[in-house]
Structures are given as C-alpha cells and as structure tokens.
Structure 1
C-alpha cells in the first residue's frame, strides 16, 4: 500500500530540491502516492492577493490537503518582514510557515545534526567535527515567536514583544523529547535555559522538564545555561545528545549545531504535533541567489526525506538513503562541498547507489 504524501515545493531553490528528493525516493522502492501544490510566494504569484489586500502564500486548500494526507515534504519559502501579517481562520500570522505550525500545533521541531563521512576533507567547509551526533528539540509554538508585538507609547520609540511560556506547552514538548530519546536509543537530554535572568518563564520551563524527566530514569537529565552551552558545543561537540530548548534558544542552538557538521545545507528538520500531521523540510532558506542554477546542495532535503520515511515506518529505507549519501565521500556532490556535480547529478548518484546496493 502506498503512503500518501503532500509535496509543497516552495520558493527559490525549493522546487529543485523537491525534484531531487523525488528521484532519490523512487530509488528507495518505497511506494508513495504524491499530491503537489504551490506554496509560498509561488502560490501568491499564481493566486494574487486576498480581498483585504493581504498576501495569500497559503490557503484553506493547503490546510485541507495537509489534514487529509498528514505527511508533508516541503521546500523553503521566502519570508519578507515587510509583508503584512497573514490572515487565516480568523487569526494573524507572521508567515505561512508559522500558520502551519500554529494551526496544526506542530510544537516539536526536531533538528538532527550528525557528521557525514566525506565532509571533513572538503576545503570549503571551515568547521566539521566528526564526533558530532546530536539532536535539537525546539519548542515551536511559544516563546518569543508568538508574534505578539506592539508599540509602547509613541510608535518608533519603544517596542514590546511577548515571550510566552506555558506549563501545558512545556510539558508536551518535554515528553516528546524524552520519548524521542527513548525511541532512538539516546542516553541524555540537556535543557537549555537562562533561569538566572528570566526567573519566572525559564524557571517554569525547567520545572516542567524536571517533572517529566522523573518518568524516564533511564535517561540522564542535565541543565545548561544556553550561553555557556553554545561555547561548550564548539569546544566539546561530542558531549551532547538531545538538547531541549524553548523556541528562540532552539532556533539559535540548532543553527550552531548545523555549523558543527558543515552548515545548514547538511541539516534536516521535522515538525511534529499530536494532530496526525508531520512536516519535513530542509533547515535552510530559499537561497534566491542560486535558484534555477541547478547547484543547490540537496543533502538537507534528502535527510529530511529520510526522516519522513522513518516517520512512515519505512525505517530500513530511511537508513539506506542516509547511507547512500556516501556519494559525498566519493566526490559526487555540489560545488559548496568541493564537488562539480549539479543538484540533479548528485541526486542521481545517490539514487544509483540505492538501486545498485539494496543492502547499503
């Protein structure tokens, strides 16, 4: 039986990345029944603007398809901070991506960062630590990214942003992090915080995490001030396993973690919730400067596709796909990793390795 999946190519390099992923996914032998929809600026260009003049990078049709299919593989989108807020289902959002996260309560953003063989010798990669194998679990619906901002007093003189931490939101992401660690054989969960300064909100976050950790005695629980955590990650990258963060900290920590393994082009990402919806996407942006040139590195998208296969229960195929990225070691890769292959050439090389060695 085929798995039903929604493809959202997105903007910039997104369509190229999704085309590359399709080539590789076919080579795994896993049967997928795919529906594709424009998303982001590409959708807006086709469908114009809404009745009140607001941009419409995502619509009710998207939401219906996501709810119906449940599993989404998507490309990055352009997000212009000058664009008016998006209105959808009676609420306002800063972007189409935020709308999906909030509407489907995709509260757990999972960003694995694992060193890939072949990257160490690439001259263009300035930082690559072979002992890095960690996962950042980022709370994805609260914190500083609630979109609640206002002027205080005269506009332009003082801006106030609301940072929201709730017991319910923290408990659910903490349970997710510990369940993830248990399922994937991880031994330690470290919580990043600044409770020494943010004594109410971060202390609430910590107390909830401590409460959840008590139910998982087999998993080591530690806490680390997030500023010193960043330093320690660079100095001792092999020391970390699962790092649990509130929204803003997770955004920063996960990008630094990607730098440890060679950059965002090698970093996958997944969004999970409790409503039967999961979204998989590369951790990087739409890269409009190289869009259409056929040179974007597809690794982040391919690793995200591997996470999608794992989510669908196709665990062996997911591991085979990751192993086939040995093409990086063999030089079959894009210019950013020192190779001469284009995006689709690299995808074809990975697909060939999958087809010729089904027991990778």
Structure 2
C-alpha cells in the first residue's frame, strides 16, 4: 500500500449525508486502483448535531481539522434553525479559520447533459469550461458591520495582500490552462475596492508578471448577464472575482451548465488544509427520496485528488463520470435527478472498474 491520506469527512445535514456516502464509495475504489488509501475521521457537525448538542464547531475541532490532508464536506443547513446560523458557524468558520482563500468553482459542459447554455450557444464543444476563482475569506463575508435598529452597514473590506494572492493564483491557473482571464468587478460604482484596488492591481500584475496571459476587466453585472447569455467567448476561460460576486456568478454558471447537481467546488489553502464540497445546499425537501444526484460531490472528489497530487486517479475518475454521462444514464442535473442515487454511483463505479489506466 502506498501513501495514506488523512481525510476529515463532514457530511452535514440531509442530502449532504447522502451524497458524501456515495462519494466515499467512489473514492475508496479509485484509491485502491492507484495504490493509495484514505484514513477517515468522521465529524457529525451540522444543524442536526447543533440542535442535539448545542455545538456548532468548537475551536478544538477546527484545530483537529487543520491536521488533516483534506476535508470532504457535504452540505449544512436546517429548517429548525435561524437561516445562515449553521452555515456561518460551521462552513464559514472552516473557510476563514483555515484561511481557504481560494474558492475554485469550475463549470464544464459534458456530453449527455442537457445544459441550458447549449440552447443559447449551440456551437460550444462538450469540454467547454468556465472556471471561477472566487476570493474566499474577504469582502462582505468578513462580517464587518453593524445594525442599530435603524441603519445597517456591511463593509467590503480587502487588504492588498488578500487581493494580490488571489489574483496571482488566477493568473497562474489561466496561464497553465492557456485560457483568457477576466476580472469581474464593479469599478463604475465601487470606487475604492474595485476602481482603486482590484482593477489596478489586476492590470499591473498582468503587465509586469504575466504578460503572456490574455487578460481583461468586465463589470460583474455585464459578465453575469449579457456576456454569459449573449456574447460568451468561444474558448474556455477563467473568471476571478470577489467573495460575494463569486457566490452569485457560480450559481448562475452551474445552472447554465446543467444544474446544481453537477456543481463542484474546492476551498483551497495552498499551504494548509483544503476542503471540497458540492455547491448545492442541504435541500431537506429532497432528503430521503433516494434520487438526489451525487455527481457534484463526486466531481468535488476529483478536485480533491488533483489537490493531493493524485493526478492520474483524478483523471480516471473524471473520465469515468464523463463516460457515464455520455451514455445518457444520468440526464438530469437538478439536485433531485430522478435516477436512484445509489444507481448513479453504481454506474460510475462500474465504469471505473472497466476503464484501463
């Protein structure tokens, strides 16, 4: 047996539990084929656990998570709790506490998936991809602000160091992919954060450090609507943006490319512990039906394997998913796909077993 990776597994609530269970089955098989293994520590934290114990995520648990090679995360959220309470207390605490400043969210076209963007732009190839690099620990989500009962304020706060490191990652990703890089922000309104900080830093970095990368700025509202709908580039490209804007645009790109059931994401700290999760929520209404799609969670596992340096295993897992999709076995990528969850996993596992390395 080769390397053993220490995984912290946090299934969370409702369908988070269901999709992570399937993801772990697939990861176990792919690890066996490529000669490595996972040592799994299961963490029960989520809304249900909070209701039972009164604990969201303690500092000691956060410290434990920091000691793992990676975190597999499902989804958190519970209808009996105040909206956002468990998300902020667990998910955001992990992201901020472990300084996972890169939120990577790729959206890719797959043969066999009925993606709405195909109807808008029928000429796009099956491997067409928009990769969003979202800054993950700054901006409005820092929680700097106040409310006195009459006036509320929320600060979009970024240090130059926070902006510099996410821009550098985005430039290097676009360079390695050979793709255009677009900064999506709002310089015509956000005078300080966008017009005086993000955009000038983006342009200066491109000219001085990454002149080989084709790069441009676009207003985020134009990027979110007219560009994606009416004038999308014909070649795959990378978007870099701030925390809140990235949160919004990635839900849109996921929907255009097939639905939340195919949206994978990675919360990355290049020098620490990273976390991998589907972008969908806990969806209590779909829990227990046995038809939620595990594909987003499994594709998040692909991102994890890449991050761990298991490139061959990641490639084989993604190709196995792609081949299942090409056959039309999982045609619907809304969260509740209509195809039995365990059957979807079985299709993928069968493909893994029969595909040669």
Shorter-chain TM range is: 0.7 to 0.9
Deviation at 1:108, TM superposition (A): 0.9
Cα-to-partner distance string for 1:107-153 (whole Å, 9 max, x where unaligned): 11000000111013xxxx5444644411000011111212123125x
> Which one of the candidate residues 41, 44, 47 is aligned to 1:38?
44
Helix, strand or coil for the counterpart of 2:347?
Answer: helix
Residue of 178, 181, 186 corresponding to 2:171: 178
Matches within 5 A, 1:39-58: 39-46=45-52, 48-49=53-54, 56-58=55-57
TM-score, normalised on structure 2? 0.88
SS at match of 2:158: coil
Cα gap change, 1:352 to 1:274, in 2 (>3 Å): closer
Cα distance between partner residues in 2 of 1:308 and 1:139 = 18
C-alpha distance in structure 2 between counterparts of 1:126 and 1:206, whole Å = 31
Mapping of residues 263-274 of structure 1, within 5 Å: 263-274=259-270
> How far 1:212 sits from its partner (Å)?
2.4
Structure 1 residues 315 and 196: CA distance shift in structure 2, 3 A: same
| CA deviation vs aligned residue, 1:43-96 (integer Å, no higher than 9, x gap) | 3144x22xxxxxx2212343122111131111010067836968xxxxxx9331
C-alpha distance in structure 1 between counterparts of 2:85 and 2:296, whole Å:
29
- Structure 2 unaligned residues grouped into runs of 5+: none
Counterpart of 1:200?
192
Sort the Cα spacing of 1:84 and 1:335 in 2 relative to 1 into closer, same or farther, 3 A. Answer: closer
Counterpart CA distance in 2 for 1:10 and 1:27 is 23
Q: 5 Å matches for 1:157-306?
A: 157-183=150-176, 185-203=177-195, 204-213=197-206, 214-230=208-224, 231-237=226-232, 238-306=234-302
> In 2, distance between residues paired with 1:65 and 1:270?
19
Aligned CA distance change for structure 1 residues 84 and 209 (closer, same or farther; 3 Å):
closer
Question: Counterparts of 1:73 and 1:323 in 2: how far apart (Å)?
Answer: 21
RMSD over aligned Cα atoms? 2.3
1:301 shift after superposition: 0.5
Q: CA 1:99–1:176 in structure 2 vs 1: closer, same or farther (change >3 Å)?
A: same
SS in 2 for 1:170: helix
Q: Normalization by structure 1: what TM-score? A: 0.87
Tell me how many residue pairs correspond in the alignment.
338
The answer to whether the Cα contact below 8 Å between 1:23 and 1:348 also exists between their aligned partners in 2 is: no
Pick closer, same or farther for the CA change 1:196–1:304 going to 2, 3 Å. Answer: same
Match of 1:322 among 309, 318, 322: 318
The alpha-carbon deviation at position 211 of structure 1 amounts to 2.8
Distance in 2, Cα, partners of 1:307 & 1:104: 18
Q: Distance in 2 between matches of 1:259 and 1:200?
A: 32
Q: Which stretches in structure 1 are left out of the alignment for 5+ residues?
A: 50-55, 87-92
Contact residue 264 and residue 278 of structure 2 kept, 8 A: yes
Q: 1:192 to 1:289 in 2, by over 3 A?
A: same
Q: Return the offset for 1:9.
A: 0.6
Relative to total residues, which structure has the larger helix share, 1 or 2? 2
Taking the aligned partners of 2:85 and 2:11, their CA distance within structure 1 comes to 22
